[in-house]
Structure 1
Amino acid sequence: MHSRNSSKTFRIAFATLAAGTLVVLSACSSSSPEPTEGSSEVEFPAATGSGAPVVLDDAQWEALVEAANAEGELIVYSSPPGTEETFAQFSEEYPDINVTVVREPTSDLIARMDQEIAAGVAGADVTWHSQPAWAAGQAEAGALNALQLAPETADAGWSDFSVGDYYLQVMANPYLLGWNTQIGEPVDNIEDLIETAGTTPVGIAEPISQNGMFQLETWMDAYGGEDFLEELSALNHTVIRSTTPLAQSLAAGEVGYVILMQPGLLDQLKEEGAPVEQIVPDDGHVTGFAYGPMTLAGADHPAAAQVFVNWLMSQPTQQLMVDEHGPMSAPVILDGTEGALGWDEVEPVNDADWPQERRDEFRAVWDTYFQPGQ
C-alpha cells in the first residue's frame, strides 16, 4: 500500500504542452524544486488554508488533463446505488484513465476513509457522498485538496454552489412515495397517501440518519406536529430499516405503499417487470440529500480526481445522472439537460444542523409512535 502524507506536495511530470512551467493553483502555497528540462509540473499542495474552488485557465486545464492521462488510474469511493456503472463511463471520454469505483453506504465509506487517512494510506482519489460536515472536518485537518474547475465548468456557474470549502453540491435526490399498482392506488403526496391507504399495508423506511428525520420533521411542521406521526402510525404499517428491502417488499406485494423511498431502486425493479410506481410529492414539502465530490490530499491520482470532478458537472454527465439516478435536482441546469428538477424543488438536509443531540431527541419522539418491524 502507498503512504499518505498530508503535508507533502504531489508532482506529476509530463511532456511540455506549452512553453514555460505550469503550476495549477491550489489551496495553499508551497515551495518546490525547479522542474527538470523538457518537463512541466502540476502541483497539488495539501489543503491547509482556504479551499474555495480554483478556476483554471485554458492552458492550465489542458495540462491538467494531460497529467491525468499520464496517471492512467482513478479510484472513486461512492455511496449512491448504481454509480459503479455510471462512473465507469468516465473512461469513455478519457480512455487513458481506468476507473475503479468502490460503492458502500455513506457511513461505511466515511469509516473506511477515516481509517485510511489516520493510517496514512492512500485509498480514494475522490469520494462522492452526502455529508459536507465530514468534508469540513477533514478539510480542517488537511486531508482534502481544493477543487480545480475548468473554464467551462466555472462559466456554467458551478463554483457558486460550494458548501464551505472543498465540497461542491452537484445533485440532490428527493424522497419519494411509491405504490404497488396491483394493490395500491396512485397518490400525490403524503397527506393523500394517509387518506388513501386504508388497511393496505404501508412500508416506512426507518429514519436512521438525519436525512429521513429532516423529511419527517418537515412533514410534521406542515401537517400538525406529532399529530402527523400519530396519523402515520395509525396506518397498517411496517418500519423497515433499509430502503432496498423496502423496495423489494413493495415489488413483492407485501406492502402496497412505501414512504421515504430513495430514487433508483423502484426504477430498477420496474424495468424487471415489477408492478411499482413512484412520485415526487407535489405538496412543496420535499426534502432529500445532496451529493458532492471531494478530492483527497495524498491521493495517488490527484490530477485524474480533478478531471473526474469536472466531468461530473459537464452537460452530458448531468444528463446521464438525471437518466440513471433521477428524480434529481441540479443547481445548474445546462442547455439540453432534460428531466432535472429545479434546485429549489428539493431542500437538502444540512447535516451541520443535526448534531447527535438533535438526532437523539427526534428519535425519542419517533420511538413513542413506531418500532422497527411493527
Structure 2
Amino acid sequence: MASTGSGSPVVLSQEEWDDLVEAAKADGEVIIYSGQPASEDVFSKFSEAYPEIDVSVVREPAGDLAIRMDQEIAANVAGADVSWSTQYAWVAQQGDAGSLAAFQYGPEIADAGWSEATHEDYFMQLLASPYVLAWHTELGEPVTDIEDLIAKAGDRPVGIAEPISQNGMHQLNAWVEAYGEDILAELADLNHQVIRSTVPLTQSLAAGETHFSVLTTPDVVGTMIAEGAPIDYVIPEENTTGFAYGPSVLANAGHPAAAQLFVNWLLSEDGQQVLADGLAPAAFPVLYDSTDGALDWDSIDAVDERDWPEERRNEFRALFDSYFLG
C-alpha cells in the first residue's frame, strides 16, 4: 500500500513511552471524530484504562466529519484529536499537506507487530467490518446469502441500502462479479424499497415495515438487537465485502499525547478485545492469541476508496439506477 505524507511511524523507547503516558494524563481529554455507528460507548472505555483522561466522541457520517476537519485545519483551530473513519482519500490529502501527525508506538505495540502491519504513514486498517444480510425474526426468515434471500423473500418487503458511497457499490459489484449482472435485476424485481442509509434501513426492519434488509451493517443491527428489536443477521461465507476503519492523529490536536495514547490503546490486547466485543463482528490485521471473537482478516474484502474514483462510482451508480429507477 502506498504511503502518504512524510512522517513514518515512530517507535518509542520505554522511557519515551512513560513520558508520553504522563503527558497524556496531563492533557486530561481526548476528542475523537468517529464515522462508525455504535463507537461512542466503545471508545468511552478508554477512560477505564486511563481514568485521568476524559473521552469526547463526535459521531457523524464520515463525509460530514471530513468537511468539519477540513474547516478546522484551514482555520488552525483545534477540534478533533483523532479521526476514526474509512476515508483513505481524505487521509492521503491531509497527510501530504502535513496536517496529520505520525503515529508513535509504545514498545509493546511495536513488538506485537503493528509497526509492520499494512498501514500508511498516517492511517492504518485497524478494524474491518462486513456487510450483512438481516431479517425480521417474526416476519422474515433466516437466509444464508444474497441468492437465498432473493429465493425466500417472495412478495415480502425488502429494504436495500442506497449505494451512495463506494462501500455499498463494492458489495453490489462483488455480487455482480460472482453471479452476473442479473443479480441486480433479481433484486429490483423484489417487493423492494431503496432506503438511503443503514440506520433508517435497519430501523425499518425492526419496525416490521420491511422483512429483509440488504446492505446493512452489524454494528447497527447489533445495537438494535441489544435494544430488543426482533431481528437477526448473517455474514455470508462468500462474496462478503465491508469497510476498514482506522485512526489518524491530527497534527494540530489540542491533546496530542492523549491522542497517541488512545491509538496505542486501540492496538493493545485490551483495546482490541473491547473493539471485538463492542463492534462485533470485527477483524484485525494483527491478532493477539488472547483476542476472543474476532473474524479472520482475510474473510472480509474491505473496500479501498482509491479503487473507486468518481468516474467509476458514477458508472456503477448509473448501472444501479438503470435497474432500480429505470
3-state SS of 2:110 partner: helix
Provide the C-alpha distance between the structure 1 equivalents of 2:286 and 2:118, rounded to a whole number of angstroms.
12
**Other-structure match for 2:205:** 250
The Cα shift of 1:49 comes to 5.4
Q: Could you tell me the TM-score, scaled by structure 1's length?
A: 0.84
Find out whether 1:54 has 2:5 as its counterpart: no
The Cα shift of 1:300 comes to 1.3
Q: Which moved more, 1:124-133 or 1:203-212?
A: 124-133
**Other-structure match for 2:168:** 212
Contact persistence 2:169–2:316 (CA under 8 A): yes
**Other-structure match for 1:82:** 38
User: In the comparison of the two structures, how many residue pairs are matched?
Assistant: 323
The Cα shift of 1:270 comes to 1.9
Amino acid at match of 2:225: K
Contact persistence 1:330–1:343 (CA under 8 A): yes
The Cα shift of 1:194 comes to 1.1
- Out of 65, 70, 74, which is 1:118 matched to? 74
Find out whether 1:280 has 2:230 as its counterpart: no
Contact persistence 2:126–2:284 (CA under 8 A): yes
Contact persistence 2:5–2:92 (CA under 8 A): no
Provide the C-alpha distance between the structure 2 equivalents of 1:55 and 1:257, rounded to a whole number of angstroms.
48
Contact persistence 1:136–1:165 (CA under 8 A): no
Structure holding more helix per residue: 2
Find out whether 1:344 has 2:303 as its counterpart: no
Provide the C-alpha distance between the structure 2 equivalents of 1:177 and 1:293, rounded to a whole number of angstroms.
27
**Other-structure match for 2:124:** 168
Question: CA 1:180–1:49 in 2, change beyond 3 Å: closer, same or farther?
Answer: closer
3-state SS of 1:368 partner: helix
Amino acid at match of 1:272: E
Provide the C-alpha distance between the structure 2 equivalents of 1:173 and 1:76, rounded to a whole number of angstroms.
19
Amino acid at match of 1:333: L
Provide the C-alpha distance between the structure 1 equivalents of 2:273 and 2:119, rounded to a whole number of angstroms.
23
Provide the C-alpha distance between the structure 2 equivalents of 1:268 and 1:141, rounded to a whole number of angstroms.
37
Contact persistence 1:53–1:162 (CA under 8 A): no
Amino acid at match of 1:107: G
Deviations 1:261-296 (A, max 9, x none): 0122222222232211101111x2111110110000
Contact persistence 2:38–2:220 (CA under 8 A): no
Deviations 1:135-177 (A, max 9, x none): 1110100100110111111111112234332101110110000
- Out of 181, 194, 197, which is 2:153 matched to? 197
Higher relative contact order (CA 8 A, sep 6+): 2
Deviations 1:329-358 (A, max 9, x none): 111121221111010000111101111111
**Other-structure match for 1:136:** 92
- Out of 70, 75, 96, which is 2:26 matched to? 70
3-state SS of 1:255 partner: coil
Find out whether 1:269 has 2:215 as its counterpart: no
**Other-structure match for 1:305:** 259
Provide the C-alpha distance between the structure 2 equivalents of 1:244 and 1:215, rounded to a whole number of angstroms.
17
The Cα shift of 1:205 comes to 0.4
Provide the C-alpha distance between the structure 2 equivalents of 1:132 and 1:55, rounded to a whole number of angstroms.
23
Provide the C-alpha distance between the structure 2 equivalents of 1:121 and 1:162, rounded to a whole number of angstroms.
31
3-state SS of 2:194 partner: strand
Provide the C-alpha distance between the structure 1 equivalents of 2:223 and 2:252, rounded to a whole number of angstroms.
37
Provide the C-alpha distance between the structure 2 equivalents of 1:279 and 1:321, rounded to a whole number of angstroms.
19
* Bigger CA radius of gyration: 1
3-state SS of 1:336 partner: coil
Provide the C-alpha distance between the structure 1 equivalents of 2:54 and 2:203, rounded to a whole number of angstroms.
33
Contact persistence 1:69–1:97 (CA under 8 A): yes
Amino acid at match of 1:219: W
Find out whether 1:356 has 2:296 as its counterpart: no
The Cα shift of 1:370 comes to 1.1
Contact persistence 1:55–1:148 (CA under 8 A): yes
**Other-structure match for 2:248:** 294
Aligned-pair identity (%): 58
3-state SS of 1:136 partner: helix
Provide the C-alpha distance between the structure 2 equivalents of 1:259 and 1:327, rounded to a whole number of angstroms.
17
Moved over 6 A (4+): none
3-state SS of 2:324 partner: coil
- Out of 232, 235, 245, which is 2:187 matched to? 232
> 5+ unaligned residues in a row in structure 2: which ranges?
none
Contact persistence 1:174–1:263 (CA under 8 A): yes
RMSD value over aligned CA atoms? 1.4
Provide the C-alpha distance between the structure 1 equivalents of 2:234 and 2:13, rounded to a whole number of angstroms.
42
Contact persistence 1:315–1:335 (CA under 8 A): no
Deviations 1:18-67 (A, max 9, x none): xxxxxxxxxxxxxxxxxxxxxxxxxxxxxx95332211121111111111
Q: Which moved more, 1:330-339 or 1:171-180?
A: 330-339
**Other-structure match for 2:215:** 260
Amino acid at match of 1:331: P
